[in-house]
Amino acid sequence: MASLNKVMLIGRLGKDPEVISFENGNKKMSVSLATTERYRDRNGEWAEQTDWHNLVAWGNLALDIAEKRRNYIKGDMMYVEGRLKTRQYVDTQNITRYVTEVVVDKMMSIGTNRVQSNPAYASYQQSTTNYQQATENIQPTYQPQGNFQDVNTNFQQAVNPYQASPMPAQPPLPDPTYGGEDLPF
């Protein structure tokens, strides 16, 4: 009978990936991943259960991370596919220990937590703030033409993000009592 050893996880990296190089040129990447499950407990309150998973990768994936072709950092939301592998070792006190790891086949970022750590994001955030400050005092240049009726006088007109002029008010809705008697068909 056939068997299947497949793991798919979505979670956040608990630390920056560490890459170890061996004498024969092979590389091993290791990192921890946190997955969190939210559920309601017996009292109806929301509770969270976080599990930590040890990830290891070999070959091209470890090489890409070592050479910064894939730049993953602590807090990044990741999608991971791989298989479970349990290994044993003897520690310094001569006790046999067992470790279960996810040997990663696929690893991709699906979201980041780089608000403060990425200088490019900080530069983008500053330029966005400068743009907003520069455009906040622009007076509208477009005046609506025609017979428009303001449905709600307290309603502020929506502003098109690509232009500095407000959008015209919505035309009045048709009369619900109109039966269409003057239509030619």
User: Which percentage of the chain shows pLDDT scores above 90?
Assistant: 44
Does the 7-39+47-113 domain belong in CATH 2.40.50.140?
A: yes
The 10s digit of each residue's pLDDT in 112-165 is 655 555 555 555 555 555 555 655 665 555 555 555 555 444 444 444 445 555
**What are the Cα distances from residue 94, in Å, to 88, 101, 135?**
12, 22, 69
Kindly report the number of other CB atoms within 10 A of residue 85's CB atom: 14
For the ranges 26-40, 135-149, 161-175, the lowest mean pLDDT is seen at 135-149
Q: Stretch 1-9: mean pLDDT, rounded?
A: 93
- For the cut 50, the answer to whether the pLDDT of residue 15 exceeds it is yes
Task: Select the more confidently predicted residue: 87 or 154.
Answer: 87
Confidence (pTM): 0.57
- Among 74, 86, 63, smallest CA distance to 7 is for 86
* Residue that has been written with the tokens 């048709």 in this structure: 174
Residue 66's pLDDT band (cuts 50, 70, 90):
confident
Residue 51, CB-side half-sphere exposure with 13 Å CA sphere: 9
User: Which percentage of the chain shows pLDDT scores above 70?
Assistant: 61
CA-to-CA distance for 79 and 63, rounded, in angstroms?
Answer: 19
Q: How many residues does the chain have?
A: 185
**CB contact burial 150-173 (16+ within 10 A = b; e otherwise):** eeeeeeeeeeeeeeeebeebeeee
- Among 105, 98, 86, 95, smallest CA distance to 7 is for 105
